Structure 1
Amino acid sequence: MHRFALALVASLAMAGCALPPTGPVQVTRFVSQPAIERLGSGTIFVETAPGENGDEDALRTYKAAIARQLVALGYRETSRDQAGQVAQVRVSRTVIDAAASRGPVSVGVGGSTGTYGSGVGLGIGLNLGGGKAREQVSTRLEVRINDALTGQSLWEGRALFDVASTALLADSAQNASVMVEALFQEFPGNDGETVEVSVAK
Structure 2
Amino acid sequence: MTIRPFLALGLGAAALAGCTTTAALPPTDVIRYHLGDPIPRGTIAVEPLSGGAPASLEFKTYAAAVQTELLKAGYSVPAQGAMPDFVATVGFTRTSREGPPRQSPVSIGIGGGGYSGGWRGGGVGLGGGVSFPIGKRRPTELLVAELAVTIKRRVDQSPIWEGKAQGISDLKRADEQAGRLAHALFTGFPGQSGRTISVR
Q: Same fold (TM over 0.5)?
A: yes
CA distance in 2, matches of 1:152, 1:19: 42
Check the 8 A contact 2:46/2:89 in 1, yes or no: yes
Alignment of structure 1 residues 160-171 onto 2, 5 Å: 160-166=166-172, 168=173, 170-171=174-175
The answer for the alignment partner of 1:184 in structure 2 is: 186
Among 115, 123, 126, the alignment partner of 2:101 is: 126
Question: Which consecutive residues of structure 1, in runs of 5 or more, have no partner in the other structure?
Answer: 1-17, 99-124
Which residue of the other structure, out of 131, 146, 149, is the alignment partner of 2:155?
A: 149
TM-score by length of 1: 0.66
Give secondary structure in 2 for the equivalent of 1:61: helix
Instruction: Note the C-alpha offset of 1:82.
Output: 1.4
Unaligned runs of 5+ in 2: 1-19, 104-134
Give 1:30's match in structure 2, choosing from 5, 8, 33: 33
Q: Is the 8 A contact 2:101 2:137 kept in 1?
A: no
Change in CA separation of 1:144 and 1:80 when aligned onto 2, cut-off 3 Å: farther
**Alpha-carbon distance in structure 2 between the residues aligned to 1:81 and 1:192:** 34
* Bigger Rg over Cα: 2
1:45, 1:80 within 8 Å by CA — same for their partners in 2?
A: no
Cα distance in 2 for residues equivalent to 1:149 and 1:47: 15
CA–CA distance in 1 between the matches of 2:181 and 2:146?
A: 9
Moved over 4 A (4+): 127-132
Tell me by how many angstroms 1:52 deviates.
2.6
State the alpha-carbon separation in 2 of the partners of residues 145 and 80 from structure 1: 20
Change (3 A) 1:162 1:80: farther
Residue 85 (structure 1) shift = 1.0
- Corresponding residue SS for 1:187: coil
Measure, in 1, the Cα distance between the counterparts of 2:149 and 2:137: 38
Identical counterparts, % of pairs = 28
> Could you tell me how far apart the structure 1 residues matched to 2:61 and 2:83 are?
23
Query: Is the contact between residue 28 and residue 194 of structure 1 (CA under 8 Å) also seen in structure 2?
Result: yes
Report SS of the residue matched to 2:101: coil
Please give the root-mean-square deviation of Cα atoms over the aligned residues, in Å.
2.3
State the alpha-carbon separation in 1 of the partners of residues 183 and 166 from structure 2.
13
Residue-by-residue CA offset, 1:38-94 (whole Å, 9 max, x unaligned): 33x111111111123387111101111111211121111126861111100001111
Aligned residue identity for 1:150: D
TM-score where L is the length of structure 2: 0.66
Deviation at 1:150, TM superposition (A): 1.0
Partner of 1:91: 92
